[in-house]
Amino acid sequence: MTKRRLLCLGFGYTAQVLARALPRDAWDVTGTTRDPAGLDRIAAQGVEPLLWPGSDPGPALSQATHVLSSVPPREAGDPAHDLLSAHPGQMPRLEWVGLLSTTGVYGDHGGDWVDEETPLVPATHRGGLRAVQNDAWLRLWSEHGLPVHIFRLAGIYGPGRSALDRLRDGTAQRIVKPGQVFSRIHVEDIVQVLLASIARPHPGRAYNVADDEPGPPQDVIEHAAKLLGLPVPPDIPFDQADLSPMARSFYADNKRVRNDRIKAELGVRLAYPTYRDGLAAILAAERQSGGN
């Protein structure tokens, strides 16, 4: 059987978890990095490294059956989109393309629910760039026939990147903005959605990837502190919080994200339907492996 080949444009947190989930007797994986120092790190994971920009990506594109981009848009555009749009006829094996986007494209809805049919009216400049990116990638499907799928991710957490880690390193804050809620998603459930989409491709489709329980961010910190047996950090009113401009901008969006489509169309059953499930599993795995 001919192996499938996944090309990850940007080999970050989610792409690394996806690569580990793919059976290597059936898949080869290529991951890109802009930093020459990152090539050895990628190779150490059993993944073929590619310096991009900097090396010719043509051979990797020509061999790819699947492409996943986690490259964020910039003021000057989206280099991953530009790469694919410049080579639409040079990917003869291509079956599936995925873009990791964000639920920030929906903007602020005052805590109300949004789904994939909600108009994209971003509330931040960063969200605006993502909305433009979403439109451009969907045109790769409508105009070039590339099998594009968009995954609008809620706040990502997982091993090494959760409220548990922020409490341990002393950076966790319980910032309280009345009525504020966020949706979130465990990285392993993102990977589950990606694998389900690969198995059931639906080009031109967008999917919200979020768990079942949006909630106030301070509740997550409190629950994590109790799991660790640590003092619950004090409340900090939002208008008194010491936040970077980027961190503060996240609070401009207040919405609950529906996830019905990944369940109905892709047959996904979330492994971690709430942050309580996800944090408990992370902590249990750490303790089993001898961590804190």
* pLDDT, tens digit, 9 for 90 and up, residues 13-49: 999 999 999 999 999 999 999 999 999 999 999 999 9
pLDDT of residue 18: 98
Q: Are strands 205-209 and 27-33 parallel, antiparallel or unpaired?
A: unpaired
Cα 156 from Cα 184, distance rounded (Å) = 6
- Contact assessment for residue 11 and residue 33, using Cβ atoms and an 8 Å cutoff: yes
CB 188 within 8 A of CB 161: no
What confidence score (pLDDT) does residue 7 get? 98
In Å, what is the CA distance from 13 to each residue of 71, 84, 197, 244? 12, 22, 19, 22
Q: Which residues in 85-116 are b (16+ Cβ under 10 Å) and which e?
A: bebeeebeebebbbbbbbbbbbbbbeeeebeb
Nearest to 172 by CA among 129, 105, 231: 231
Alpha-carbon distance 94 to 251, whole Å?
A: 39
Q: Which domains does the chain have, with CATH numbers?
A: 4-156+184-212+256-271 (3.40.50.720)
Which residue's entry shows tokens 């961190």? 247
DSSP 55-70: S--HHHHHH-SEEEE-
CB–CB of 228/152 below 8 Å?
no
- The number of C-alpha atoms within 13 Å of 225 and in the hemisphere containing its C-beta is 17
Q: What is the pLDDT along the chain (292 residues), one digit of tens a residue?
A: 689 999 999 999 999 999 999 999 999 999 999 999 999 999 999 999 999 999 999 999 999 999 999 999 999 899 999 999 998 888 999 999 999 999 999 999 999 999 999 999 999 999 999 999 999 999 999 999 999 999 999 999 999 999 999 999 999 999 999 999 999 999 999 999 999 999 999 999 999 999 999 999 999 999 999 999 999 999 999 999 988 888 888 899 999 999 999 999 999 999 999 999 999 999 999 998 875 5
* Cα→Cα distances 177→103, 110, 123, 236, 248, Å: 20, 12, 17, 9, 11
